[in-house]
Homo-oligomer: A and B are copies of this chain.
Amino acid sequence: MTAPRTIGIGLLGLGTVGQGVWKHLTEKRADLESRLGVRLDLRWAAVRDPRKRRAVRIPRARLTRDAAKVVDDPRVHVVCELIGGTGKARELTLRALRAGKVVVSANKALLCEHGPEILDAVRRHGGQFLFEASVAGGIPIIKAIREGLVANRFDLIVGILNGTCNHVLTRMGEDGLSFAEALREAQELGYAEADPSLDVDGIDAWHKASILAWLAHGKWPPRARTLVDGIRQVSPADIDFARRFGYALKHLAVIRRDFARNWMTVGVYPALVPSRDVLARVSGVNNGITLRGDVVGATTLAGRGAGGDATASAVIGDIVDAIGALTGGAGHGISAEALRARERLGRGVRMGSLDEIVSPFYLRLSLLDRAGVSEGVYRVFTKHQVSIARVIQYEHPNQGRGTVTLSTYPVSERRMAAVVRELRRLRTVLGDPVVLRIFNPES
């Protein structure tokens, strides 16, 4: 027998995820080495400040400020890009791929915004790009789409992809916190950044939805043709009403595909989810994704969507796959071969018109409390042929105003937009109507 091959691993970035990877790879090294039949060499962690105190103890000689040196080290076979952002991370990723190396990435923004460039580098130079950690933290959703459920085409992928939004909505629903209070709490707990807009405005979920859409359907959805909405407009009252109607309020990413007409639509928005749905039970910082395949039916994966350890679990899973590929395997990452197959998958797929997407809606209106006011409101719905399914109406004593919450039967985005435009113009409607979609898994 020959001596086992040594696989060199280099980390770029040593934040919570990087430290998690270092710690768990070190702890599980004997087991992983015996499974894989190789020796693992955790060669480098590139950091900004080697002297900074960290929770994980790493020999000083393994730390370097020079990320390019890590990428260029011929004894580093697997580069883990855990810096984030689209500047230095992009440069280093391309540099590693152009050297034909394996890159394991947790960087959804980079893949989403520079996907074609990155994948082109894979194609030209024969490396691999693995990105399980970029979507839904520790949940092996990329692997499920790419391998376990490979027999399937997915006409619906729907998921809770942003843990911060889910935590905020959960806290609002459980304890009646306002959006601002719940967000502040999430920031204090370290779940949300000081500038939370990436999370609460839906951008992070959109990045992840784009990656899933590309993986499942071979096409990057252009941002301009995607519905992206956050949760700033949601109040505890909406969650409470949703519950009364039999729903939970979740921030969803919804990817629909019509195979007969060869289009897809991608939307990211807060929505009412039937409370009997498994996703309705995915709470706190957890993520959950339901894949509806033509062979397997609906399969749901749920678990921790963020956090250093959960994401580290995904990174290590990718490293193990990468080593399988490096030691002679076909590889499950995104190799040149896999890319060509994915391109064929996306051939001719068009983006569906957002205007034509049909769903039931939920609306909350503040109304002047005067005789005949509701009538005027209902007249708008009738005029646009939008049928109302359920109404809850009540008055705020002594405030001279009332609230109407209602749900509609399924109606197109275009038609609902027309209704809302007209409602806004009514003098008796106070402020902006709150408009939320109702997610119907059957449709």
A residues whose Cβ falls under 8 Å from a Cβ of B: 20, 24-25, 28, 31-32, 34-37, 132, 137-140, 143-144, 147-152, 276-278, 280-283, 288, 293, 295-304, 307, 309-310, 312-314, 316-317, 320-321, 324-325, 327-332, 337-338, 340-341, 344-345
Contact between chains at A300 and B299 (CB < 8 Å): no
Q: A320 — nearest CB in chain B belongs to which residue?
A: B150
In the bound complex, residues from chain B placing their C-beta under 8 Å from that of A332 are: 324, 332
A45 to chain B, nearest CB (A): 17
- Of B280, B281, B328, B341, which contacts A330 at CB under 8 A? B328
Ordered by A's residue number, 25 sampled pairs between the chains whose C-beta atoms are within 8 Å are A25-B151, A32-B150, A34-B344, A138-B293, A138-B297, A140-B140, A140-B144, A140-B149, A144-B144, A147-B321, A151-B317, A152-B313, A277-B281, A278-B302, A281-B281, A295-B312, A296-B304, A296-B309, A296-B313, A296-B314, A298-B303, A298-B304, A299-B303, A300-B302, A324-B330
- A148 CA to B331 CA, complexed, in Å: 14
- A317 CA to B152 CA, complexed, in Å: 9
Contact between chains at A34 and B341 (CB < 8 Å): yes
In the bound complex, residues from chain B placing their C-beta under 8 Å from that of A34 are: 340-341, 344
- A282 CA to B276 CA, complexed, in Å: 9
- Of B25, B32, B147, B298, which contacts A320 at CB under 8 A? B147
A167 to chain B, nearest CB (A): 14
- A202 CA to B297 CA, complexed, in Å: 25
- A24 CA to B288 CA, complexed, in Å: 27
- A317 CA to B324 CA, complexed, in Å: 18
Contact between chains at B281 and A345 (CB < 8 Å): no
Known: A34-B341, A138-B299, A140-B147. 6 other contacts (CB 8 A): A143-B143, A150-B316, A151-B320, A295-B312, A296-B310, A301-B301
- A244 CA to B1 CA, complexed, in Å: 64
- Of B31, B138, B143, which contacts A147 at CB under 8 A? B143
- A138 CA to B139 CA, complexed, in Å: 17
- A295 CA to B31 CA, complexed, in Å: 15
A299-B301 CB under 8 A given contacts A278-B278, A329-B328? yes
Contact between chains at A303 and B295 (CB < 8 Å): no
Contact between chains at A147 and B317 (CB < 8 Å): yes
- A312 CA to B295 CA, complexed, in Å: 8
- A297 CA to B311 CA, complexed, in Å: 11
In the bound complex, residues from chain B placing their C-beta under 8 Å from that of A298 are: 303-304
Contact between chains at A341 and B138 (CB < 8 Å): no
A337 to chain B, nearest CB (A): 6
Contact between chains at A138 and B296 (CB < 8 Å): yes
- Of B24, B295, B327, B338, which contacts A310 at CB under 8 A? B295
A299 to chain B, nearest CB (A): 3
Q: A137 — nearest CB in chain B belongs to which residue?
A: B296
A432 to chain B, nearest CB (A): 33
Choose among A288, A313, A316 the residue with the greatest number of B CB atoms under 10 Å from its CB: A313
Q: A343 — nearest CB in chain B belongs to which residue?
A: B34
In the bound complex, residues from chain B placing their C-beta under 8 Å from that of A293 are: 138, 313
In the bound complex, residues from chain B placing their C-beta under 8 Å from that of A25 are: 151
In the bound complex, residues from chain B placing their C-beta under 8 Å from that of A20 are: 295
In the bound complex, residues from chain B placing their C-beta under 8 Å from that of A150 are: 32, 35, 316-317, 320
A154 to chain B, nearest CB (A): 12
A195 to chain B, nearest CB (A): 27
Contact between chains at A139 and B299 (CB < 8 Å): yes
A184 to chain B, nearest CB (A): 24
- A277 CA to B284 CA, complexed, in Å: 12
- A143 CA to B32 CA, complexed, in Å: 16
In the bound complex, residues from chain B placing their C-beta under 8 Å from that of A32 are: 150
In the bound complex, residues from chain B placing their C-beta under 8 Å from that of A139 are: 299
- A74 CA to B150 CA, complexed, in Å: 27
In the bound complex, residues from chain B placing their C-beta under 8 Å from that of A148 are: 132, 140, 143-144, 314, 317
